[in-house]
């Protein structure tokens, strides 16, 4: 019985779920510093990251660190930030981002997302160190490990993590 439990835990940890503790305020108010979450590895084994997903990935400037940010730019996209608003592929309408805790500031880009890569931003834009500031701007597809799906701590906030 103990062997079965150990094998099950090992399979879950390595192939099904990632357990993460949120170390910073970059995703507030969606996910708070100190929150504990599960990410689904299977989401990206059988599908592609979608714009708006909250993804757990290996930090492109130091792959020993795991980061969590929102997927904003998809492969082949042009991403531009004007007066804090995100525009994709020269659209005249900015992304609808109701999850932002405060209006972001600044102009960045344009960024041209390479094939098999993603452009990531934190929800707390004015305080997030994200694709705008990294030496290696984009996250390669194979480095995107899981989609954040469930918060299990703090106990008063247990539940599914929504995109919006």
Domains identified in the chain and CATH numbers: 2-160 (2.10.109.10)
**What's residue 160's pLDDT?**
95
Residue 6's pLDDT is what? 67
Average pLDDT of the segment spanning 83-107: 96
- Radius of gyration over every alpha carbon of the chain, rounded to an integer in angstroms: 16
Sign of CA dihedral 28, 154, 148, 20: positive
Please indicate whether residue 40 is annotated as part of the active site.
no
The proportion of the chain whose per-residue pLDDT surpasses 90, expressed as a percent, equals 87
Tens digit of each residue's pLDDT (9 = 90 or more) over 19-72: 999 999 999 999 999 999 999 999 999 999 999 999 999 999 999 999 999 999
Q: Which residues contact 117 (CB under 8 A, 6 or more apart)?
A: 75, 138, 139, 140, 141
Tokens (6 digits) for 115? 């094939």
Check whether 122 has a pLDDT greater than 80.
yes
Pick from 106, 96, 92, 93: nearest CA to 72: 96
Q: Name the 3-class secondary structure at 162.
A: coil
From the candidates 26, 43, 128, 131, give the one annotated as an active-site residue. 26
| Residue 26 falls in the annotated catalytic set | yes
User: What is the chain's length?
Assistant: 164
Catalytic option among 69, 128, 131, 143:
69
pLDDT at 14: 64
pLDDT at 2: 82
pTM for this predicted structure: 0.91
Answer yes or no: is pLDDT of 157 > 90: yes
């Amino acid at each position: 019985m103990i062997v079965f439990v150990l094998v099950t835990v090992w399979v879950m940890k390595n192939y099904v779920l990632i357990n993460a503790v949120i170390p910073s305020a970059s995703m507030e108010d969606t996910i708070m510093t100190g929150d504990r979450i599960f990410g689904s590895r299977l989401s990206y084994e059988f599908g592609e990251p979608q714009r708006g997903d909250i993804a757990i990935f290996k930090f492109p400037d130091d792959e020993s660190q795991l980061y969590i940010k929102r997927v904003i730019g998809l492969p082949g996209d042009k991403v531009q930030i004007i007066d804090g608003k995100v525009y994709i592929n020269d659209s005249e309408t900015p992304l609808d981002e109701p999850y932002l805790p405060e209006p972001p500031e600044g102009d960045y880009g344009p960024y041209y997302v390479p094939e098999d890569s993603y452009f990531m931003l934190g929800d707390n834009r004015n305080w997030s160190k994200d694709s705008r500031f990294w030496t290696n701007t984009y996250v390669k597809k194979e480095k995107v490990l899981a989609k954040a799906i469930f918060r299990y701590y703090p106990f008063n906030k247990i539940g599914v993590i929504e995109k919006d």
